[in-house]
Structure 1
């Protein structure tokens, strides 16, 4: 009995020691990590890093792509494409060494459509879960790959929606469904696919009055988010002109509208944030309500009744906001970092950092990590008092993807490589 007690205490001690490590290694499974929030709760990446400091490995990656890396277990996954869009690929790297585990072409495209120089043919971030990687390239194709080998388990290439300037919406998994948005210049809709087979479970066309015949004002690059309000799940879906919330259907049912926030604008590009009381959305270019907080307990049109606050000042179009301890931080297209009180929108401070921010910031251990397009990295305190810079680095390569944080590692994708920084 004493022997059993000894081993019981030893096991308990080991579990206690390992618990923080397991928590810090929470998978960075989708665009902007868990729930699309950009926050790694128990992680502790390095404050100071760069090409010559705290660099564990750097792996060159072929092609041109803005998709962000996702991480599960000891593997890093990402997508890429040839510059002409004729080959769309996925890669798997070993997290410990950076070695490429597999690299394969998922889709061949005979005649790719136009893609604007500010975008790529592989800008949609994949979703990873045990054994399966879900990759999406807009209407060029969606596929489920075996995470260990890269082998295609199923694919869909039948959805018609002209991205016009290139794809950008990232997929999410909820329960047994893979949810994907298509907001093109011609057709705009959402689909829920059976994640095991790829078969369509439901499809919902947008019913938005865009108040224009110009397809350019109908397209968007948003990623949806599932939240729970008063015991009911909502799918919050950013689009051009409006952000909409839907009631998720039972199997075989239809997506039902709950509320809509009409904000105008186009190119909405970031996942919503949720703090339990308010949804925070960026609404794209051309909108005076470019950044807004919305209470999600309304019905039908909520623009006049449930918008807690909104602003068009220092609001990002490409880079998503980040929420830390009741503070909302943004880095915008003009190189300005801003801290606001999340509940009221009150501006607490702003600081011109320089450059353009397309990559979304991430946070861990009370620090914000933000990269501008030119490859400069800014590490600053998640502080509402003032801007406090903790480190400034130059990766000397373009950064458009959002970083990933796993444990004590910061994973950054630049134009030509993937980097792992760790003390």
Structure 2
């Protein structure tokens, strides 16, 4: 046998052992046959809250907020509490509670936790699965078994986890942590783990699960967990969360990855359009303006793109953000690449207005409060800079912990961070509340630390 044949056989064997050849048909479900009826439901009570990944509108922009620009180990910290295990799940904040997903090894468990917003006290912890984690060869070195951020509508907390070669979704009572329902979404052939976060839409909770065995999107009823619709996507591993935005006069469910940016009707799962763009694998979430759609990715291709509401390409840049998501604000687009290049583009024509090298690598996505942008790097530094198209204007660099993978959450005058402390087997995680200090009567006229209006 020739050396070429032996190498080819060896390569095939490695692929099969890695599970790349395993394909699982996706059982599609239509709204007509599911027996689950769509119902319009107002989520207006969540205005000003942070009910899931990147906030209410999934764009990382906080409203009616006022948080410090400077903090440290002994400055502007309201409280800090331990988080068991490890996860990249970002804080979800609704009313007086904070929700997180996490996972532990030995024993292998995935859990959802609730904390008191006032004090940081852990209110409940619900173990939702045990065992069945993908082997190390099917996980990225950065990945965890609790990557996705949970969503909360005030009544229930929703999350999805990969275990036993499947993705399962869960609905928990937000007050007690009691499990209301469990729903299997489908098989999942892991390459690097499972990452997407759910999105709330009227009576539905929508989940993505792009994977090399056969990808899919599924919408569940928020009360029962019944599958309202499920559609098939390409058999390609990608990691972006879906988003729903009103663009071009209609609601669109938007997701990048598998080499395309694709739009669906969130009520039915019907594909509206699909356009080549970004990359095969993406992690970032689409952001929008009133009349444009922006996406970036990823691997192996590198592209940031803008589309019309109907999917026509408006402009393209060879700069790309793989893990972090973009910020669209006041006619401009801001982002920080994985290797720490902060960029600003004009939304209309894609002109690059400035770029600046920051220190370190970045996995977390930026958030905006007023005219400031905040983003944390993998060394535990949170950069604060002006959302100004004229130039990069750094306000502060704040250190907490030794790493930060999770994205910040902002509600009112409070900023929430999930950080790692230490390294190796000694590494642990904390949830930290950073707050604008309330001056005492005797300090009312004294200057306080700079605050983002």
TM-score interval (norm. to shorter):
0.7 to 0.9
Any gaps of 5 or more consecutive residues in structure 1?
1-21, 209-214, 299-305
Equivalence for 1:232: 250
Match of 1:297 in 2: 310
Question: Secondary structure, in 3 states, of the residue corresponding to 1:137?
Answer: strand
Per-residue Cα deviation, 1:108-152 (whole angstroms, up to 9, x for no partner)? 124534322211110011101111100111434210000011110
The 3 A distance-change label for structure 1 pair 23 and 323 is farther
Match of 2:391 among 366, 386, 390: 386
1:363 and 1:85 map into 2 onto residues whose CA distance is 38
CA distance in 2, matches of 1:364, 1:312: 28
Q: 390-399 or 408-417: which moved more? A: 390-399
Which deviates more from structure 2 when the two are superposed, residues 395-404 or residues 155-164? 155-164
Contact 1:361 1:371 survives alignment (8 Å): yes
1:250-285 residue CA offsets vs partner (Å, 9 max, x unmatched): xxxx52221111126232112211101110111321
Q: For residues 165 and 279 of structure 1, do their structure 2 counterparts lie closer, same or farther at Cα, with a shift above 3 Å needed?
A: same
* Alpha-carbon distance between aligned partners in 2 of 1:190 and 1:326, rounded to the nearest angstrom: 31
Partner of 2:146: 122
Offset of residue 345 of structure 1 = 1.2
Describe the superposition over 1:165-216 as per-residue Cα deviations: whole angstroms up to 9, x where unpaired. 111011111111111111111111111111111111111101x5xxxxxx6x
Task: Quote the residue 2:375 is aligned against.
Answer: 370
2:57 alignment partner in structure 1: 35
Query: Structure 1 residues 291 and 83 mapped into 2: Cα distance closer, same or farther (>3 Å)?
Result: farther
2:261 is the counterpart of 1:248: no
Greater shift in the superposed pair: 103-112 or 169-178: 103-112
Cα offsets for 1:23-80 (capped at 9, x unmatched): 9971101101121110112101111112111000001101111111100001000000
Inter-partner Cα distance in structure 2 for 1:230 and 1:355: 38
Q: Pick one of 145, 156, 159 that aligns with 1:135.
A: 159
Is the 1:143–1:154 contact (alpha carbons within 8 Å) kept by the matching residues of 2?
Answer: yes
Shift of 1:225: 1.6
Question: What SS does the corresponding residue of 1:144 show, helix, strand or coil?
Answer: strand
Task: Name 1:146's counterpart in structure 2.
Answer: 173
1:354 matches 2:359: yes
Match of 1:301 in 2: none
- Partners of 1:230 and 1:390 lie apart in 2 by 36
1:104 deviation in Å? 2.1
In the alignment, the residues of structure 2 paired with residue 270 and residue 45 of structure 1 have an alpha-carbon distance, to the nearest angstrom, of 25
- Distance of 1:407 and 1:367 partners within structure 2: 15
Work out which of the residue numbers 225, 230, 239 in structure 2 matches 1:198. 225
State the 1:158 CA deviation: 5.5
TM-aligned CA distance change 1:24 to 1:161, over 3 Å: closer
Moved more, 26-35 or 84-93: 84-93
* 1:280-333 CA-partner distances (Å, limit 9, x unpaired): 111321114x211111224xxxxxxx11111122x2110111112112111111
Q: Distance in 1 between matches of 2:228 and 2:195?
A: 23
1:311 to 314, 317, 321: 317
Correspondence 1:63-142 to 2 at 5 A: 63-83=85-105, 86-113=108-135, 114-138=138-162, 139-142=166-169
> Whole-Å Cα distance in 2 between the matches of residues 231 and 40 of structure 1?
23
1:281 maps to 295
Q: 1:25 to 1:101 in 2, by over 3 A?
A: farther
Q: CA deviation at 1:247?
A: 2.3
Distance 1:296 1:182, change over 3 A: same
- Asked if residue 420 in structure 1 is aligned to residue 433 in structure 2, the reply is yes
Between the two proteins, the alignment pairs up a number of residues equal to 380
| TM-score, scaled to structure 2 | 0.80
Match of 2:405 in 1: 400
Offset of 1:228 from its aligned partner?
2.7
Change (3 A) 1:366 1:112: same
What is the TM-score when the length of structure 1 is the normalising length?
0.86
> Cα offset for 1:368?
0.6
Root mean square deviation, CA, Å: 1.9
**Equivalent pair of 2:278/2:305 in contact (CA under 8 Å):** no
Residue 330 of structure 2: aligned partner: 325
Alignment correspondent of 2:211 = 184
CA gap of 1:48–1:101, structure 2 versus 1, over 3 A, is: same
CA distance in 2, matches of 1:158, 1:312: 35
Is the contact made by 1:411 and 1:419 (CA closer than 8 Å) also made in structure 2? yes
